[in-house]
């Protein structure tokens, strides 16, 4: 079954929820309004649907392979990547000063989603390059920027993040890789890094590794970590490629999903030391790496939306085609396609509502990012930065957990055929699992939401968001339609439950950390559910206005129905989660350790 990019829904979210025309009023984005967004999305859809998506199942059955230190990607990946580069897609939202197109994240995020829907293994390569670009733009010297940024932004070279080591997973204080300073200002890098996405491949001429390591004599723990650029091939002063650096791929992982994406074990310095170049200042590497992590975390959230969309489309097509049993309402005399059955429709509506809600949430967050980074008014920048930072763990944590439920439902809609690999439904389920793990597990996102985003300011920002939600409730009640009133009722109940959870988290985080953090993931799921539901409430109001004006009647009716379903089937989970957050910590930690 072929993939059809959901351009219409993306543009709806962009225009009415993210307010793309307001983004286009920010200096530098004047040409990036709705018309530009539509043109870019339609062009991106052609690449994703026609070139990248046909390679998805092939990548699952013929993944990347390693021989004699050389990684060969899935047949067709290299050629598809060249088309991606030639189209300028890597530089879409990066600065024009280095050859990018300088478009807002609001547009770039939608293209990111499309690419991941088409082929999440393929899309991981540009995602990691984006992170490297962000780190160099923020902390790189003028020399590093001049040497690497243009080639990274063009996509001619790709980037990686090298954090994890065999003994250091999420706890980066345990990083042991070493950096020895040399008289010329460069460093020799020694160490082993694992789980390096696209750490070695054949799709680009050079791979620019951003590597965490400790300079000799640095403090222990996270305060002694520095960040280095370590290219696969050294770069000559004229920009041409020089000698091969001392970094080798010693193995690639055999994985449950995203099989076409080579996940490498890299060895630095086996033959005298890999040459590295310090990014920013010594011992501030973790700070810089989090710039990459935040960019990548949002991107992984978009992967969740993307895989969910693809699973939904495949499930709908199967439900239309598969004939099984007579409908319970007798609407068809004999056996009918399973889309007639109420529970199948419930599953499909759940998939659809989750996906549209998370897309709307992510699009709104992207617009906040654009304002936070580019708006001329400092107060506007700060307000949007605060909002965006609160949203990142929701986009990453909730959207990826959502994708697991949606892809599981996709298999369920297929029934027994979903368990058979040839139908393709199982691949999305397997691919989705990693999304809740890499770039910070769901628990890490939840700890961030609890500690940095809620407890640190006493819940002030969380309550400010709740106040915005209350205004949406008022508008829904004023609308007076059955769908709007249903949404208003469930949104209010969810918001009030959220505020109870905020009070508990902000009030108890220091005094009772185990009780609070035992409920951190339920708190994240509660908050993500509420915020996505809020966006669906806003969407419902817009759809009613558009419907009254006679615009896109079928689309607007479907949006209203989907929003009402979200309210009545998904928002209703929030009060139960709040109860778990506020009262469940003691039982979560009560069993003695030796009883497990």
Active site residues: 439
* Sign of the alpha-carbon dihedral angle for 137, 436, 307, 423: positive
What is the distance, to the nearest Å, from the Cα of residue 166 to the centroid of all Cα atoms in its chain? Answer: 25
What is the distance, to the nearest Å, from the Cα of residue 108 to the centroid of all Cα atoms in its chain? Answer: 12
Q: Please, are residues 281 and 218 in contact by the beta-carbon 8 Å criterion?
A: no
Q: Please, are residues 255 and 437 in contact by the beta-carbon 8 Å criterion?
A: no
**237: exposed, middle or buried (C-beta count within 10 Å: 0-12, 13-18, 19+)?**
exposed
| Euclidean distance between CA atoms 485 and 469, whole angstroms | 14
| Euclidean distance between CA atoms 25 and 14, whole angstroms | 14
Terminal CA-to-CA distance of the chain, rounded, Å?
A: 46
Backbone angles phi, psi at 270, to 5 degrees: -70, -20
Q: Please, are residues 200 and 208 in contact by the beta-carbon 8 Å criterion?
A: no
Judged by DSSP in three states, 361 sits in helix
Q: How many CB atoms lie within 10 A of CB 554?
A: 8
Backbone angles phi, psi at 363, to 5 degrees: -65, -40
Judged by DSSP in three states, 240 sits in coil
Stated as kind and residue range, the H or E segment containing 241 is: strand 241-244
Q: CA torsion angle for 213, 216, 221, 223 (degrees, to 10)?
A: -80
Pairing of strands 187-197, 206-215: unpaired
| Euclidean distance between CA atoms 476 and 566, whole angstroms | 15
What does the radius of gyration of the chain's CA atoms come to, in whole angstroms?
A: 24
* Sign of the alpha-carbon dihedral angle for 67, 73, 79, 81: negative
Q: Choose among 169, 156, 178, 142: nearest CA to 279.
A: 142
| Euclidean distance between CA atoms 67 and 418, whole angstroms | 34
Judged by DSSP in three states, 17 sits in helix
| Euclidean distance between CA atoms 415 and 436, whole angstroms | 25
**Token pair listed for 584:** 């469940």
| Euclidean distance between CA atoms 150 and 91, whole angstroms | 9
């Amino acid at each position: 079954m072929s993939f059809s990019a959901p351009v219409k829904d993306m543009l709806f979210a962009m225009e009415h929820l993210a307010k793309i025309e307001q983004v286009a009023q920010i200096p530098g984005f004047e040409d990036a309004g709705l018309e530009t967004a539509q043109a870019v999305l339609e062009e991106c859809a052609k690449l994703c649907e026609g070139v990248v998506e046909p390679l998805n199942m092939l990548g699952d059955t013929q993944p990347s392979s390693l021989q004699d230190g050389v990684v060969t990607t899935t047949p067709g990946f290299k050629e598809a990547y060249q088309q991606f580069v030639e189209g300028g897609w890597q530089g879409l939202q990066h600065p024009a000063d280095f050859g990018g197109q300088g478009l807002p994240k609001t547009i770039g995020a939608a293209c990111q989603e499309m690419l991941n829907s088409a082929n999440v293994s393929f899309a991981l390569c540009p995602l990691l390059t984006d992170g490297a670009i962000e780190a160099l733009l923020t902390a790189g010297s003028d020399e590093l920027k001049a040497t690497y940024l243009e080639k990274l932004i063009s996509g001619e070279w790709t980037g990686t993040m090298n954090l994890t080591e065999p003994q250091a997973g999420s706890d980066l204080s345990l990083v042991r890789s070493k950096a020895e300073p040399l008289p010329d200002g460069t460093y020799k890098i020694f160490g082993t890094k694992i789980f390096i996405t696209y750490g070695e491949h054949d799709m680009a001429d050079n791979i620019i590794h951003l590597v965490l390591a400790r300079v000799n004599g640095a403090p222990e723990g996270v305060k002694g970590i520095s960040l280095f650029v370590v290219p696969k091939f050294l770069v000559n002063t004229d920009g041409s490629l020089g000698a091969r650096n001392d970094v080798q791929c010693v193995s690639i992982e055999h994985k449950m999903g995203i099989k076409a994406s080579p996940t490498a074990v890299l060895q630095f310095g086996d033959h005298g030391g890999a040459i590295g170049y310090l990014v920013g200042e010594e011992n501030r590497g973790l700070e810089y790496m989090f710039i990459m992590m935040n960019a990548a975390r949002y991107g992984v959230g978009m992967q969740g939306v993307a895989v969910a969309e693809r699973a939904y489309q495949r499930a709908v097509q199967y439900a239309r085609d598969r004939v099984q049993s007579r409908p319970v309402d007798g609407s068809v005399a004999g056996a009918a396609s399973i889309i007639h059955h109420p529970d199948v429709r419930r599953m499909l509506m759940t998939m659809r509502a989750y996906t549209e809600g998370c897309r709307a949430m992510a699009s709104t967050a992207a617009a906040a990012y654009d304002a936070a980074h580019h708006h001329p008014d400092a107060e506007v920048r700060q307000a949007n930065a605060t909002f965006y930072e609160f949203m990142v763990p929701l986009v990453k944590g909730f959207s990826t957990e959502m994708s697991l439920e949606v892809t599981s439902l996709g298999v369920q809609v297929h029934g027994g055929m979903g368990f058979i690999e040839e139908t393709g439904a199982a691949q999305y389920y397997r691919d989705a699992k990693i999304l809740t793990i890499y770039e910070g597990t769901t628990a890490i996102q939840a700890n961030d939401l609890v500690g940095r985003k809620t407890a640190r300011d006493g819940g002030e920002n969380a309550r400010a968001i709740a106040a915005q939600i209350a205004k949406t409730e008022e508008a829904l009640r004023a609308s007076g339609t059955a769908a709007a009133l249903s949404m208003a009722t469930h949104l209010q109940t969810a918001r009030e439950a959220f505020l109870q959870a905020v009070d508990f988290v902000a009030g108890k985080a220091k005094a009772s950390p185990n009780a609070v953090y035992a409920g951190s993931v339920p708190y994240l799921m509660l908050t993500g559910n509420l915020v996505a539901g809020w966006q669906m409430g806003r969407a419902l109001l817009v759809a009613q206005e558009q419907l009254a004006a006679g615009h896109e009647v079928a689309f607007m009716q479907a949006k209203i129905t989907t929003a009402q379903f979200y309210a009545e089937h998904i928002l209703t989970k929030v009060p139960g989660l709040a109860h778990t957050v506020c009262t469940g910590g003691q039982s979560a930690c009560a069993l003695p350790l030796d009883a497990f």
